Amino acid sequence: MTAAPASASGVAIDVKGLTKSFGGREVVHDLSMQVKRGTIYGFLGPNGSGKTTTIRMLCGLLTPDSGEGTCLGYDIRRDADKIKRRVGYMTQRFSLYQDLSVRENLEFVARLYGTRDARGAAREMIKRLGLSGREEQLAGELSGGWKQRLALGACTLPNPKLLLLDEPTAGVDPKARRDFWNEIHALAAEGLTVLVSTHYMDEAERCHEIAYIAYGHLLAHGTVDDVIAKSALSTYTVTGDNLNELAAELTGKPGVDMVAPFGTSLHVSGRDREALEASIAPYRDRPGLHWQHSEPSLEDVFIELMTRSKDNFQ
């Protein structure tokens, strides 16, 4: 990489070797990451891979067993208080008060951060969130999409420098999801750093940089193109008849690391291009099949990384 060693001002998150175990089971292993200020950083990985645990270590909610680093220039072990004052954390599960109204929740947050005019700040935020008319509704009675907007509003209210969003769009309809991402981009455009975990592939494409974590191991990071290029994966897209049969026949052949159906086509990938081509050669002339060498998709890369890591770490 050509980037100069990150100066404190250029990097929002800089951690090295974070490790965390629960009851003897290592959930996050030797994780290092750097997030530049003003970027949207996607944190991808299957369920249970340690995304939430990592985010909690970043904002001082969990103490790493080993490893160190800084968040906004503050030590994650020693300066948890300072980090908390400058970081907005949106939890995976809705964690505002269900029995408080929209307005009361926002006022509570504003007061906790010492905002002088808590009522005014809450009123302003309600307007910006498009929640006018719902301010007296109990948070617990809002729909999923509105809850998520409220939660984002609550964590941006105290003017944080860094947002940590843990699967903010899980279970939200596509329209609300799109609006949400537009908002995140607007926030980033104005200088906020956003770390957002997700397991939607299409959302990865909307991030400036991504990191992929599986079984607690950070397996790849960089821009989407970087990650795809670094995977050195060769992929063939097959269309035609009886793809299920073909998939069964190809699975396990030398050089074939992954066979995955994608809608009406089949993706056949391998890291060793020669071995892969040798294995698929007998099928390439089969009538009714159309083979094409293609760029692997991000999903191909992730699935392959995950399958590989499963063999290594499980």
Partner 1 sequence: MSMVSAPDQRRDTREPRFGFWRRSYAMVVKEFIQLRRDRVSFAMIVMIPVMQLLLFGFAINTTPRNLPTAVLLQEDSDLGRSILKALENTAYFRFTREVHDVAEFDNLLQSGKVLFGVEIPRGFERAVRRGDRPALLVAADATDPVAAGSALSTLGVVVQTALEHDLRTGDPPSLPFEIRAHARYNPAASSRLNIVPGLVGTILTMTMLIFTALSVTREIERGTMESLLSMPIKPVEVMFGKILPYVLVGFIQATLIIGIGVLLFGVPVRGSLMMLALLSTLFITTNLSIGYTFSTIVQNQLQAMQLSMMFFLPSILLSGFMFPFAGMPVWAQYLGEGLPLTHYVRIVRAIMLKGATMENIQYDAIALVVLMLLAMTIAVTRFRRTLD
If contact means CB under 5 to 8 A according to the sort of partner, which of ligand ADP, partner 1, Mg ion, none does residue 261 touch? none
Q: What binding mask, one character per residue, do residues 37-66 give for partner 1 by CB under 8 A, x or -?
A: -------------------x--xxxxx---
Q: What binding mask, one character per residue, do residues 38-67 give for ligand ADP by CB under 6 A, x or -?
A: -------x-xxxxxxx--------------
Site for ligand ADP, residues 5 to 44, rule: CB under 6 A = 22, 27
Q: How far is the CB of 218 from partner 1 (least distance, A)?
A: 21
Q: What is the 3-state secondary structure (H, E, C) of the chain?
A: CCCCCCCCCCEEEEEEEEEEEECCEEEEEEEEEEEECCCEEEEECCCCCCHHHHHHHHCCCCCCCEEEEEECCEECCCCHHHHHHHEEEECCCCCCCCCCEHHHHHHHHHHHCCCCCHHHHHHHHHHHHCCCCCCCCEHHHCCHHHHHHHHHHHHHCCCCCEEEEECCCCCCCHHHHHHHHHHHHHHHHCCCEEEEEECCHHHHCCCCEEEEEECCEEEEEECHHHHHHHHCCEEEEEEECCHHHHHHHHCCCCCCCEEEEECCEEEEEECCHHHHHHHHHHHHCCCCEEEEEECCCHHHHHHHHHHHHHHHHC
Q: What binding mask, one character per residue, do residues 17-56 give for Mg ion by CB under 5 A, x or -?
A: ----------------------------------xx----
Closer Cβ to partner 1, 179 or 272, answer by number: 179
If contact means CB under 5 to 8 A according to the sort of partner, which of Mg ion, partner 1, ligand ADP, none does residue 49 touch? ligand ADP
| 269 contributes a contact to ligand ADP by CB under 6 A | no
Q: How far is the CB of 25 from ligand ADP (least distance, A)?
A: 7
| 173 contributes a contact to partner 1 by CB under 8 A | no
- Footprint on this chain of partner 1 (rule: CB under 8 A): 56, 59-63, 80-81, 84-87, 89, 91, 93-100, 104, 107-109, 111-115, 118, 124-125, 127-130, 138, 149, 152-154, 156, 158-161, 179, 182-183, 186-187, 189-192
